[in-house]
Structure 1
Amino acid sequence: MRIPLSTPAALLITGTVGSGKSTTAQAIGGLLRKDAIPHAVIDLDALRNAWPSPADDPFHERLMLANLGAVARNHVVAGAVRLVVAGVLEDLAQRPLYEQAVGMPLSVCRLPLDLADVQARLHRRHRDDLEALNWHLQRSGELDAVLDAAEVADVEEGVKAEQTPAQVAQAVVRAVGWTS
């Protein structure tokens, strides 16, 4: 299904840590810019980055959703018709909260990637921080299993280690009907 480029729409790129969510979102932003489509790229990790987290909300989900709502509204007021969101959605029951926060129809695309490739990326990313590396290596497998079970995505766009961010972005926009 093709979504007209003038129709407001949001896309959440989800996947395990190290799968390329933020990089893909930025690359999609580049494609939209090239096509002169007013848009915003929003990284959910930045919207939840606060310490400490409440015991009943270790990943600051409530804070992130409140911030997402405010940021999305501000971008729409500024003229954005497309929102590209990078983050983790672990629970199908939470999906309506994300759509409500962005205030427009939301598509979800998961980026599955072989865990060996994820681990190689994490080793590069956290080569100077052993504590962060160990946490992310542990979390990558856990989260991948959670996402397999949760089935939150409308589409999955498998990523290969040799693909460029631009290639992944092109595949994702085709898969969700955002092609020009």
Structure 2
Amino acid sequence: MTADASRPRALLLVGSVGVGKTTAVDAIGEELAARGVPGAALDLDWLRRAWPTPAGDPFQHRLELVNLQAVSANMREAGAQVLLAAGVIEAREDRDDYEHAVGCPLTVVRLTAPRELVRERLHRRHELDPEGLVWHLDRFDELTAVLDAAGVEDVTVPIAQDPQATARAVLSAAGF
């Protein structure tokens, strides 16, 4: 880690659907564990998975932030020095809310991948779910455009074929 290794930090991986955010968070967690760095990994999708969806908050953003704040505090109290999360921030003005929720300095890393590679992944992932496939294919293009316009990331890292190579690239780009 950088200069003050005792101070907790958070690393949020953002990117469009199918780019490999969760896989990369898992690989980063393995890399940090091998280095002896205590941490915790979160998938933000799970922190907002509830129904029904409230009016005016179709992606349950408010619920995600409230849960992220509670879980992050618990993880830091349990000794995590690095909080890893996979998710999406769609607007630059929301970035401060995420840093407040994790309760420590936040670095946002955008993962990118070639469109055709992601489309292949989505076809495999939704092989038995044609409606889900159509939604995710459309959402990939839509969300890519949203992220391009929002510019929420501190650094951008293209994914590698090997998740561990992606993990090392992310950690290097984020100053670890």
Instruction: Identify whether the pair has TM-score above 0.5, normalized to the shorter chain.
Output: yes
Distance 1:70 1:125 in 2: 31
| 1:97-147 Cα distance to aligned partner (Å, 9 max, x none) | 000000000000000111111111111111111111111001000000000
| SS in structure 1 of the partner of residue 12 of structure 2 | strand
CA-to-partner distance for each residue in 1:36-63, whole Å, 9 max, x for gaps?
1110001000001111111200000000
Question: Is residue 99 of structure 2 the alignment partner of residue 96 of structure 1?
Answer: no
* 1:168 equivalenced with 2:171 (yes/no): no
Deviation at 1:2, TM superposition (A): 3.4
Equivalents in 2 of 1:10, 1:99: separation in Å?
Answer: 8
Q: Secondary structure at the match of 2:108?
A: strand
Task: List alignment gaps of at least 5 residues for structure 1.
Answer: none
What is the identity percentage for the equivalent residue pairs of Structure 1 and Structure 2? 51
Unaligned runs of 5+ in 2: none
| Matching residue of 2:56 | 56
1:70-89 alignment runs, 5 A limit: 70-89=70-89
Q: Report the count of equivalent residues.
A: 176
Instruction: Give me the TM-score of the superposition, normalised by structure 2.
Output: 0.97
RMSD: 1.2
- Aligned partners of 1:20 and 1:5: how far apart in 2? 27
Task: Report the counterpart of residue 132 of structure 1 in structure 2.
Answer: 132
State the AA in 1 paired with 2:104: M
What's the secondary structure of 2:10's corresponding residue? strand
Q: Are the aligned partners of 1:19 and 1:112 in contact in 2 as well (CA < 8 Å)? A: yes
How many angstroms apart in 1 are the aligned matches of 2:6 and 2:121?
36
Q: Which residue of 2 aligns with 1:112?
A: 112
Shift of 1:3: 4.8
Tell whether the 8 Å contact from 1:3 to 1:177 is kept in structure 2 after alignment: no
| TM-score normalised by length of structure 1 | 0.95
Distance 1:81 1:126, change over 3 A: same
Q: Which residue of 2 aligns with 1:177?
A: 175
Instruction: Name the SS for the 2:11 alignment partner.
Output: strand
